[in-house]
Amino acid sequence: MTIPGDELLFLPLGGSGEIGMNVNLFGCQGKWIMVDLGMTFADPSLPGVELVLPDLTFIERNRDRLLGVVLTHGREDHLGAAPYLAGDLKVPVYATPFTAGLLREKLKSDGFDDAIKVKTVSMGATLELGPFKIRYVHLAHSIPEGNALVIETPYGRLFHTGDWKLDDEPLMGKPSTPEQLTAIGDSGVLALVGDSTNVFNREASGSEGEVRRAMLEVVKGRKGRVLVTTFASNAARVDTIGHVANETGRQLCVVGRSLDRIIRVAKASGYLKHLPPLIDPDEAMSLPPQSVLFVATGCQGEARAALARIAAKEHNEIRLSKGDLVIFSSKQIPGNELAVGVLHNALVSQGVEVITEKGAHVHVSGHPGRPELEAMYGWIRPQIAVPVHGEMRHMTEHATLALSLGVPDAIVPTNGAVIRLAPDGPKKLREETAGRLVLDGDVIVPADGLTMVQRRRLLFNGYLSVSLALQRGKLLGEPVFAVQGLPLEEDLDDFVAKAKREVVRIVETSNAKDVAGLSEKIRIAIRSQARDYTGKRPIAEVHIIKV
């Protein structure tokens, strides 16, 4: 069990080797702080599950050494696990006003109202937690109040970038200037722990201001309804959509709960001051098509989001038709291509035109491309580069880039690796428990545990069971079969009849006192018959009732 001594340790519990679920621990003089507590979305290997959460076993066991959770910003991959897991840590969660507002709203809507103490920290403020002195440093990102952290410790100064980009026209907030970042570099930085997401992009991410102009060009002069879909958390983009509505004489209608929430929190934090008054969907549909602009959730093809329901003609109020336009002001997150494709096809088959970032400059990323990474290393000039927020390929490329820029040392972490940054670092010391949990229904279970293993087996193999009653070693009545998800189709009756005869034969020829042995014989027999009929190996169960 790692207890930080007279040293500075780094231990990621999520986000190293994956894009999502960021959780980073820093340790010093017996204490830990946690930076971010994010979640990620399930892939098809976790059927029936939407949310994946980090396994915090290590820090839960060291709870008395944890001083607080410090959130850099409000995207789900940085705060999404907090409502589920932060309560158990029994420490305050620190965040800037917008992020804190989002977290409080989430806690309220999930029914965790008082479980977590959320402490608001002003933008640019400093926070002291034991041996750590933490200063929020605003950087542009695709959500208001993206922050890097300057973390001062007795063993050196860290620059934890959070998620960031350079944007000379960010439309929201005032990101730190090159001069301010250079001053941090001048004070001497031991390690830069930073975002690797877009290290393969040769171009800089681009500005929200460019998107605003491009989107206006696309919408101007259109005759039909226009719907823009984007990530709800990108309040600057929502502001742009409001601006485009104003400039093109359209009324704005917001569709989707997560957008409502962001707008509410953003307004409460002093953003979105110029958003036009919103109209409701009924009113929007009663207006001439050229007078309405929708902004809707669901840009990743999420089945329950507003856009998917509109495209499937299942939305209660909103219909699109020939001559209307849908703008995807978003990037396709890898893994969502199929779902987004289904959405595009549903829309175009109704005569709706679809424009994506490939056809017009209607989206920019929130993460730094290579030129931005180069600039940041030039300003911060750390002794050590610690790439995080990426798959292994992104982090390795990030380390190579940092070394090529003259950073003396780099180390690529993995979730669970304890890395000593100082003194005598960087050096991997050992491994601690790290892993994934899933929210399955309302229950949190391990991603590689029995529930998920069984779920996959059920899904891929199907299920077969037989129930029989025995009285003094003889069958009472007929065995009853149940079949789920086996491709028997029209062979089902034949299959059941044959299996029944086999069960009867086994009961008659076996020692009925040995119920366990009998049960296993029957199980093997019906499973093997299922294999003969279908080529599948279903989960097979035998229930014997002794009367």
Q: Would you tell me which residues interact with Zn ion (CB under 5 A)? A: 77, 163
Q: How far is the CB of 350 from Zn ion (least distance, A)?
A: 35
Nearest to 156 by CA among 9, 12, 11, 307: 9
Q: How far is the CB of 413 from Zn ion (least distance, A)?
A: 16
Structure tokens at 396: 């390795």
Instruction: Report the residue number, 73 or 420, with the smaller CB distance to Zn ion.
Output: 73
3-state secondary structure of 175: coil
DSSP string, 387-444: EESB-HHHHHHHHHHHHHTT-SEE----TTEEEEEESS-SEEEEE----EEEEETTEE
Instruction: Report the residue number, 143 or 526, with the smaller CB distance to Zn ion.
Output: 143
Instruction: Report the residue number, 163 or 432, with the smaller CB distance to Zn ion.
Output: 163
The size of the chain, in residues, is: 547
- Beta-carbon contacts of 510 under 8 Å, excluding residues fewer than 6 positions away, are 517, 518, 521
Q: How far is the CB of 53 from Zn ion (least distance, A)?
A: 15
Other beta carbons less than 10 A from residue 531's beta carbon: 13
Instruction: Report the residue number, 215 or 235, with the smaller CB distance to Zn ion.
Output: 235
Q: How far is the CB of 37 from Zn ion (least distance, A)?
A: 12
- Residue 453 one-letter amino acid: V
Alpha helices (H) along 257-391: 257-268, 281-286, 306-311, 337-348, 370-380
Q: How far is the CB of 178 from Zn ion (least distance, A)?
A: 23
Q: How far is the CB of 135 from Zn ion (least distance, A)?
A: 20
Instruction: Report the residue number, 413 or 538, with the smaller CB distance to Zn ion.
Output: 413
Give the side-chain half-sphere CA count within 13 A for 148: 26
Interatomic CA distance for residues 101 and 268, integer angstroms: 8
Q: How far is the CB of 436 from Zn ion (least distance, A)?
A: 17
- Taking each helix axis as running N to C, give the angle between helix 235-247 and helix 208-219, from 0 to 180 degrees, rounded to the nearest 10: 40
Instruction: Report the residue number, 78 or 225, with the smaller CB distance to Zn ion.
Output: 78
Instruction: Report the residue number, 245 or 262, with the smaller CB distance to Zn ion.
Output: 262
